Structure 1
Amino acid sequence: MKALVYEGARSVSVKNVPDARIERPTDVLVSVTTTNICGSDLHMYEGRAGMESGRILGHENMGEVVAIGEGVDKVRVGDMVCLPFNISCGFCRNCEAGKTAYCLTTNSDPLTAGAAYGFAGMGSHSGGQAELLNVPYGDHNCLVLPEEAQERQSDYVMLSDIFPTGWHATELAGLQPGESIVIYGAGPVGLMAALSAQLKSAAQVMVVDRHPDRLALAEEIGAIPIDDTLGSPIDQVNQLTNGAGADRGCECVGYQAHDPQGDEHPNLTLNNLVHSVRFTGGIGVVGIFLPQDPHSPDRLYREGEGEVAFDFGLHWFKGQTMGTGQCNVKAYNRLLCGLIEQGRAAPSWIVSHELPLEQAPQGYRHFDDREPGWTKVLLHPEESG
């Protein structure tokens, strides 16, 4: 099969590799029809996440079931399915508690919880930027989609990661109807957090970024765009909230946050949120932070196992709460699927480019360079020659 293989920092190529196949009775084999380039893929693409050379990338996947193991009970050949980026077993302690992002059995490292397709540090599972994908525990991990999904793949594929992750950010922040919320980062996850906040009837949704195309997408769904090149985003948020700060805040950037001058600060958005959110408000952090980053320009983060200079004193003084961590996709994907099916949500509004798999290296390069208009890239392996 053809697959996108990671070769080193900013080097990926489409190669012929051995076909994915059924390996265990509970496996499902999927012919991948749509797979996305995610912002978190860029951490690996840039050589900032310890990805091993030779791995197949891709954790935002959907496709058609082409084979099932003899132990699979409910998923059928021909089903269109979307796959949570978290690979989970469904029966360990964390999975039983709904914490499928922290499954205790699907990562071969006994000291680590959680596994994912084609992701550094999250097991040895191959990614889905390929023609075929093996899905462990298929009955548990496959979300069988409605019939219309074949024609609306650009909406339904978002259930694999970014739509649930955006929703998760607002859940971690504790957003309630009628509250205000500020979201740092108008990348795909930040835009999904803005969409989620609107669906939850937030009274005021503010989105901080500096890329005009991304801020325009936020404005399309009724969010207030805040350009941090025009002045302190903290001051702009306070101005919009009569000096009180937002009720809730979401961090959707992660450890490679940059200031408007282009300098990287892993603590930038975290501390901006502490200042931007009101006393007793809540903060949800879904942007990626890693315990190791030997290439960080920040000495504390580089040498201190992911330590950041955090304004904890002010955070404590303001009585704020903070929720963190990867999204437990299965906690939300079925409900969000209903919103798409009933026409309440169309997350594909952020999609800028749809490419055949052969053009994935160019797609990565343009997306990584944050070129204007490259907001979300979908790949279609079935269109490969």
Structure 2
Amino acid sequence: MSGNKAVAYKSPGVVEVIDTPYPTFELKDGPGVNPANVGRKVPHGVILRTVTTNICGSDQHMVRGRTTAPADLVLGHEITGEVIETGPDVEFIKVGDIVSVPFNISCGRCRNCKEAKTGICLNVNPDRPGSAYGYVDMGGWVGGQAEYVLVPYADWNLLKFPDRDQALEKIMDLTMLSDILPTGFHGAVSAGVTVGSTVYVAGAGPVGLAAAAASQLLGAAVVIVGDMNEDRLAQARSFGCEAINVGAGDPADQIEQILGVREVDCGIDAVGFEARGHGGGAGAQEAPATVLNSLMDLTAAGGSLGIPGLYVTGDPGAADDAAKKGNLSLSLGTGWAKSLSFTTGQCPVMKYNRQLMMAILHDRIHIAKAVNAQAISLAEAPRGYAEFDAGAATKYVLDPNGYLSN
């Protein structure tokens, strides 16, 4: 093998399918690769032929130019694949296995990994804890929106599906195990969702919809989803959620109309740092602390906030100098006065992915339907990015090697 096609970030608003090197068991220099990782040997890794790889809202932040991502960075951290080559130190994963790849890259050896904190592995990113494929400032591990991709620490990282035929039959659901379903589930668990809970999910993008579906799986009595995009709100209603348009007015007023009270038991932020102010309609201005402050108001005293929405330390497109460094005007006094708990950061995917795999395989959750998954070819990725950026109520699943068309 010598060739490989991949989706790369070129400039704000522009992605292209490029020719890129076929992966080897050694990290090479390239866009975004941490110099300390160049030449790193990966005998514990495998090479996958990509079965599916999804466009994520986190990718979209980079493509909009809202991070310090360099040109030609190969994108993609939501990966499902077939093992076609194993490194000499791989013992249990075999050629031919169909596997889900957690978006967190973790070593399985450090203190954090041993404590199930795989989102903040200490050994894979020389700059700071935590890493991911195809993402800015995450160590430079090459992304998986490609025909082939390298996965390190394969025996530890990969979730093998128990039956190949069953996996391919349910692949549009199983592809969500790499990120958005565990991330949404983590948001719900962190928010304390349980049987009978009332839940407010801010954001009706794929992660928000996954958090809503996860809340239902956990037994929530009422799940309310807020957004400004009517198509995405309709998608939330399609699987039994209540939906409110936060561009039309105060979310608390609309929640009161549904529940009879102005608060919920559990709050989930699935928006992140590109949030816009409430009540301003389609022209609402960006106000990155809006969702967090709103959730502190809306969540009952003693409750919890799950915050899977992405916040960054470097945002060149932010509205003010403070936000460019990730500094937001939070009403922390409100959170303190109400004794609220907060959980932020990457979802530790391995904490949840096997259980969620079983829920999918046994038809306890239909996540592809909930997020309106649509398969497109690798060549159609630029169109998928553009439509997703324009607000399409769709989760785009790339099919680089034709598995979905066979």
TM-score range, shorter chain: over 0.9
Q: CA deviation at 1:351?
A: 2.9
Residue 216 of structure 1, aligned match among 200, 219, 234: 234
In the other structure, the counterpart of 1:377 is 396
Q: Give the AA of the match of 1:383.
A: G
Residue 309 of structure 2, aligned match among 263, 269, 287: 287
Contact in 2 for aligned 1:29/1:132 (Cα 8 Å): yes
Residues 1:118 and 2:139 are matched in the alignment: no
Residue 343 of structure 1, aligned match among 358, 363, 383: 363
Partner Cα distance (2:329, 2:259) in 1? 27
Partner Cα distance (2:315, 2:230) in 1? 29
Map residues 21-36 of structure 1 onto 2, 5 A cutoff.
21-23=24-26, 24-36=42-54
Q: CA deviation at 1:240?
A: 2.8
Contact in 2 for aligned 1:182/1:250 (Cα 8 Å): yes
Residues 1:63 and 2:85 are matched in the alignment: no
Superposed CA deviations along residues 293-321 of structure 1, whole A, max 9, x for unmatched, are: 1220134312xx21111111222122211
Contact in 1 for aligned 2:185/2:211 (Cα 8 Å): yes
Q: CA deviation at 1:105?
A: 0.3
Superposed CA deviations along residues 257-286 of structure 1, whole A, max 9, x for unmatched, are: 123323111001011111111121111111
Q: CA deviation at 1:56?
A: 0.6
Contact in 2 for aligned 1:32/1:61 (Cα 8 Å): yes
Partner Cα distance (1:331, 1:356) in 2? 31
Partner Cα distance (1:240, 1:223) in 2? 11
Residue 191 of structure 2, aligned match among 173, 184, 189: 173
Superposed CA deviations along residues 65-84 of structure 1, whole A, max 9, x for unmatched, are: 00101111111100000100
Map residues 263-342 of structure 1 onto 2, 5 A cutoff.
263-302=285-324, 305-342=325-362
Contact in 1 for aligned 2:170/2:361 (Cα 8 Å): no
Residue 100 of structure 2, aligned match among 69, 77, 82: 82
Partner Cα distance (1:16, 1:379) in 2? 17
In the other structure, the counterpart of 1:132 is 148
Paired residues, number = 379
Superposed CA deviations along residues 33-88 of structure 1, whole A, max 9, x for unmatched, are: 11000011011001111111121100001011001011111111000001000000
Please give the TM-score of this superposition, normalised by the length of structure 1: 0.95
Partner Cα distance (1:22, 1:67) in 2? 10
SS of 2:265's equivalent? strand
Q: Give the AA of the match of 1:322.
A: F
In the other structure, the counterpart of 1:98 is 116
Partner Cα distance (2:320, 2:273) in 1? 10
Q: CA deviation at 1:362?
A: 1.3
Q: Give the AA of the match of 1:129.
A: Q
Contact in 2 for aligned 1:238/1:276 (Cα 8 Å): no
In the other structure, the counterpart of 2:376 is 355
Partner Cα distance (1:105, 1:219) in 2? 42
Contact in 1 for aligned 2:172/2:373 (Cα 8 Å): no
Note the aligned Cα RMSD (angstroms): 1.5
Q: Give the AA of the match of 1:351.
A: N
Partner Cα distance (1:68, 1:124) in 2? 21
Residues 1:162 and 2:165 are matched in the alignment: no
Contact in 2 for aligned 1:106/1:115 (Cα 8 Å): yes
Residue 204 of structure 2, aligned match among 170, 186, 196: 186
In the other structure, the counterpart of 1:108 is 126
Name the stretch that deviates more: 56-65 or 257-266. Answer: 257-266
Partner Cα distance (1:72, 1:312) in 2? 47
Partner Cα distance (1:285, 1:74) in 2? 35
Q: CA deviation at 1:231?
A: 2.2
Residues 1:151 and 2:169 are matched in the alignment: yes
Q: Give the AA of the match of 1:378.
A: V
Partner Cα distance (2:176, 2:311) in 1? 22
Q: Give the AA of the match of 1:202.
A: A
Q: Give the AA of the match of 1:286.
A: P
Residues 1:234 and 2:237 are matched in the alignment: no
Partner Cα distance (1:73, 1:40) in 2? 33
Contact in 2 for aligned 1:353/1:377 (Cα 8 Å): yes
Contact in 2 for aligned 1:265/1:298 (Cα 8 Å): no
Q: CA deviation at 1:352?
A: 4.3
Contact in 1 for aligned 2:252/2:262 (Cα 8 Å): no
Partner Cα distance (2:71, 2:46) in 1? 26
Partner Cα distance (1:323, 1:228) in 2? 23
SS of 2:177's equivalent? helix
Name the stretch that deviates more: 71-80 or 21-30. Answer: 21-30
Residues 1:10 and 2:30 are matched in the alignment: no
SS of 2:130's equivalent? coil
In the other structure, the counterpart of 1:41 is 59
Q: CA deviation at 1:244?
A: 4.8
Contact in 1 for aligned 2:55/2:395 (Cα 8 Å): yes
After TM superposition, what 4+ stretches of structure 1 lie above 2 angstroms from structure 2? 21-24, 238-244, 259-262
